[in-house]
Amino acid sequence: MLIERPDKNPILKPKRIHSWEAEAVFNGCPVKKGGNIYLIYRAISLPHYHALARTKLVVSDIGIAESKDGVDFHNRKRFIIPEYSWERFGCEDPRVTKLDNKYYIFYTALSEYPFRADGIKVGIAISRDLKSIQEKHLATPFNAKGMALFPEKIEEKIWAVLTVNTDRPPAKICLASFDKEEDIWKEAYWQTWYKNFEKYSLPLQRRPQDHIEVGAPPIKTEYGWLLFYSYIQNYFSPQRLFSIEAVLLDLEN
């Protein structure tokens, strides 16, 4: 597989007239709807006084932009914002999957400042039309990031991939399955799952000093589910080496 860097990079830049995305835009996740491609992305605001933190902060929201070709984007707007106590210090790094007739957007939700592992969890927003959000929930009651659904059910179950203990390393990329939608944010389900989360982990980390995290929602191919993930060598030293890796997962198991 050959991947080329487009000449039009960057395809999205900060927009100074929008204070919520004036500092930076990055970590976008695309999804198709009709004949258009929508990019759901992390946006960082200008520094401003945050009443709960009692200091100046930059805060992450999640924006959405529209394109016909996946390169030229327009109609940018603020899409997911901090509303609840479990996300009050930012919504980061979205990953979106369409399953049945809904778009499930998972993101990193920050509930505490100064930031610490117990305040960094996964939130979920659900949209039927990519114009508005119908539901929001706290998904994981423990430290996690980088969660995404598989785009179809497997053996009548909903499946997800997520990164556990991202801020309490070693992080693990794990699988989770759900009988019904509401199990995705059911605390009792996750408490039971977390007791044995290593049982559901994928053996991707080669050395204890390295770090991993789910990159994008799984893509179905004839050879298996293609999963991209970030791999950071020497994570705890100044000589960090960032790379993107991929793995194929069995289509049925």
pLDDT in tens, 123-180: 999 999 999 999 999 999 999 999 999 999 999 999 999 999 999 999 999 999 999 9
Q: In Å, what is the CA distance from 171 to each residue of 74, 203, 217?
A: 36, 11, 18
The count of domains in the chain is 1
Residue segments in the chain with a per-residue pLDDT below the cut of 70: none
Confidence (pLDDT) at 4: 84
Structural domain includes residue 155: yes
Confidence (pLDDT) at 7: 87
Structural domain includes residue 56: yes
- Look-up: residue for tokens 């004036």? 22
Structural domain includes residue 131: yes
Structural domain includes residue 215: no
Structural domain includes residue 239: no
Any residues with CB less than 8 A from the CB of 187 and at least 6 apart, and which? 141
Q: What CATH number is associated with residue 87?
A: 2.115.10.20
Rg (CA), the chain: 18
Structural domain includes residue 116: yes
Confidence (pLDDT) at 241: 97
Structural domain includes residue 67: yes
Q: Where in the sequence is the domain holding 119, given as residue range(s)?
A: 19-205
